[in-house]
Amino acid sequence: MKSSSKHRYKTKASLHRSPLGTALLTVGLLSSLLPSTIQAASQVTDDIAPEAASSVTTKSLVTSKQFMVAAANPLATKAGYEVLQKGGSAIDALVAVQMMLGLVEPQSSGLGGGAFVVYYDAKTQKITTFDGRETAPQAATPELFQDATGKPLGFYNAVVGGRSVGTPGTVKLMGDLHKKYGKHSWKSLLKPAQKTAKEGFLVSPRLAGAIAKDKARLSRYPETKAYFFDENGAPLAVNTRLKNPAYAKTLKQLAKKGADSFYSGNIAKDIVKKVQGLSDNLGLLSLNDFQSYKVKERAATCLPYKQYDICGMGPPSSGAITVGQILGITQHFDLAAMGPKSAQAWQIIGDASRLAFADRGRYIADTDFVPMPQGLLDKDYLASRAKLIVPGQALTEVEAGTPEWKTPLALADDISIELPSTSHISIIDAEGNAVSVTTTIENGFGSRVMSNGFLLNNELTDFSFASFKNGYPIANRLEPGKRPRSSMSPTIVLKDGKPYLIVGSPGGSRIIGYVAKTLIAHLEWGMDIQSAINLPNMLNRFGTYDLEKGTPAESFRPSLEAMGFKVSIRDLNSGLQGIVVDSQTFRGGADPRREGIALGD
Ligand code: GLY
């Protein structure tokens, strides 16, 4: 077994070499989070990151020949590794990883949340995607997150409680995929997490830090408080052995009765009772929402790029389109010649990203409810967007463009808020099946409401709180049964039609920039996947250039300011996991900013 982590749970600051050639400083567990320069109202809230940076560990590139798995927690990676070692499929490994993540990284994803899967099937040589996103309750109205005067609620007033909870999709997604692509028994895949829940696991520094930081919100509901705090009311400390008998019981039931039992039996009933019976901020989920929940298979959204096809999740995720637009615009410039030390390269990437985010805010939502332009990834359209960029000078104005659209609709720009959280899993099995999965309960610790040993999501706050702006509807407004727009960007890059790179990240709407950076670093700048992940994060979504605090990215400040950007130095807490497939050798990397590892044989 080869591991990418030299230090499994390192809490002290450390130094490692960055690909830019200077020491990358570590970031403190609870470092300061509020930058001074912020633009739009949504960004003000977006800067209160609930999943704060934890310590940075040194990770080295992992190589293997037969299979590989990379996930956000060593226990979860190990669960997937053991399945693959016994001949399990990528989907088998995914089930084991997800069940373990829901236990050991409960703040980020789990049975109470939703996920997107990009899947390459070696037998049919086809790529497809599966949408296990949460749905808005049938009883929900567009005004769910507005007060009596129609004013949007404060973010955490909306998040904490039952109001924000959408119908969870992750369990059905795992069950449906396993029925289609599983080789091992469903029961055997749930066993490792069931055993760990019963025997206990050691609370990681990242989880302990997150609990301490969220103390007030996590104390609001008794079941949640009892789980995350000790008998004296103190947040669980690092290395506390934490048992979760309720989670073990839930997995035992799912193992026996199957994933669908989650949606029709006592678990669904408990969740409905819980969200409708809280002491405050009641939710609207009903049994009917559970019984009618469906996982949707959707065609992958792909961008031809050099000799590759960059494929990912289309709507309701904005991921693949926005990542695709960034890459489709920047490929009109010679980024390879400029290299990662060029401020001009970052100006072009930043402005391409701003243009892509402008389209995202105007046009992208759940296309089962809202029509979307056909031409968002059209070659000529992206060429016209690239022409707006002036090398060496930041764009002064950025607006959504006018891509081809057969049935145009007047829409207002979106003002939804997405905070960094979530988890990513990349897997390739011995037969060449590959899966890229981003999975979430939305905010760190989701709605803070717990049932049956897991946290319930707050995914509905990924909708725009406002429904209209200046009389025009917002595409991502809340509607009953609709899936909130996501930024999750699970990606599989194909080369000659076969998986070449499997990658993704958590991080709210910054996911898009984290993934785009990694793709550019590897495909344009030739960095191996670990170095591409390590490369300091530099992102621009809405005008302000975010540079990763304590890293060489800070040195770009003067040049970017001279070009006209506002700059904010801040934690940029990606959690990338990537695998590159190169002539039968797998090379894996995990993000040093979080606790993940890659393992393979
Ligand atoms: N809730 C994070 C996302 O879906 O982008």
Residue 513 has pLDDT above 70, yes or no: yes
Beta strand 498-504 with 577-582 is antiparallel
Residue 278 has pLDDT above 60, yes or no: yes
42: confidence class by pLDDT, cuts 50, 70, 90: very low
What angle do the packed helices 74-85 and 90-104 form, to 10 degrees? 160
Distance CA 118, CA 437 (A): 6
Q: Report how far Cα 395 is from the mean position of its chain's Cα atoms.
A: 28
Cβ distance 414 to 83 under 8 Å?
A: no
Q: What is the mean pLDDT of residues 291-298?
A: 98
The preferred substitution site among 45, 487, 505 for testing ligand 1, maximizing ligand atoms within 8 Å of CB, is 487
Q: Give phi and psi for 5, each to the nearest 5.
A: -110, 125
Residue 40 has pLDDT above 70, yes or no: no
Spatial CA neighbour of 322 closest among 534, 465, 485, 129: 485
Residue 11 known to be catalytic:
no
Q: Which of these CATH numbers, 2.60.40.1180, 3.60.20.40, 3.30.70.1430, 3.40.309.10, describes 62-200+243-299+416-600?
A: 3.60.20.40
Hey, how many other C-beta atoms are within 10 angstroms of the C-beta on 346? 25
Of all residues in the chain, what percent carry a pLDDT higher than 90?
86
Q: Give me the sign of the Cα torsion angle 355, 485, 109, 154.
A: positive
Q: Which two tokens stand for residue 265?
A: 């039996």
Residue 304 has pLDDT above 80, yes or no: yes
53: confidence class by pLDDT, cuts 50, 70, 90: low
Q: Can you list the pairs that 263-270 forms with residues at least 24 positions away whose Cβ atoms lie under 8 Å?
A: 263/171, 263/172, 263/290, 263/291, 263/293, 264/290, 264/291, 267/451, 267/452, 270/451, 270/452
58: confidence class by pLDDT, cuts 50, 70, 90: confident
Residue 49 has pLDDT above 50, yes or no: no
Of all residues in the chain, what percent carry a pLDDT higher than 70?
90
Task: Say what the pLDDT of residue 417 is.
Answer: 58
Residue 419 has pLDDT above 80, yes or no: no
The preferred substitution site among 107, 422, 510, 574 for testing ligand 1, maximizing ligand atoms within 8 Å of CB, is 422
Task: Say what the pLDDT of residue 544 is.
Answer: 96
Q: Which two tokens stand for residue 216?
A: 């007030």
Task: From the CA of 443, give the closest atom in ligand 1.
Answer: 1
Q: Which residues contact 83 (CB under 8 A, 6 or more apart)?
A: 92, 93, 96, 184, 189
Q: What is the mean pLDDT of residues 243-251?
A: 98
Beta bridge partners of 436: 118, 426
Q: pLDDT (tens digit, 9 = 90+) per residue, 176-222?
A: 999 999 999 999 999 999 999 999 999 999 999 999 999 999 999 99
Beta strand 566-570 with 544-548 is parallel
Task: From the CA of 487, give the closest atom in ligand 1.
Answer: 5
Residue 385 has pLDDT above 60, yes or no: yes
Residue 88 has pLDDT above 90, yes or no: yes
Residue 292 has pLDDT above 60, yes or no: yes
pTM (2 d.p.): 0.91
Task: Say what the pLDDT of residue 412 is.
Answer: 78
Residue 416 has pLDDT above 50, yes or no: yes
Task: From the CA of 484, give the closest atom in ligand 1.
Answer: 4
In the chain, domain spans: 62-200+243-299+416-600
Average pLDDT, the chain: 90
Q: What is the mean pLDDT of residues 16-44?
A: 25
Pocket of ligand 1 (CB under 6 A): 418, 422, 440, 442, 462, 486-488, 508
Grouping H, G, I as helix, E, B as strand and the rest as coil, residue 407 is coil
Q: pLDDT (tens digit, 9 = 90+) per residue, 311-357?
A: 999 999 999 999 999 999 999 999 999 999 999 999 999 999 999 99
Which position among 250, 422, 438, 544 bears the catalytic label?
422
For atom 3 of ligand 1, which residue has the closest CA? 486
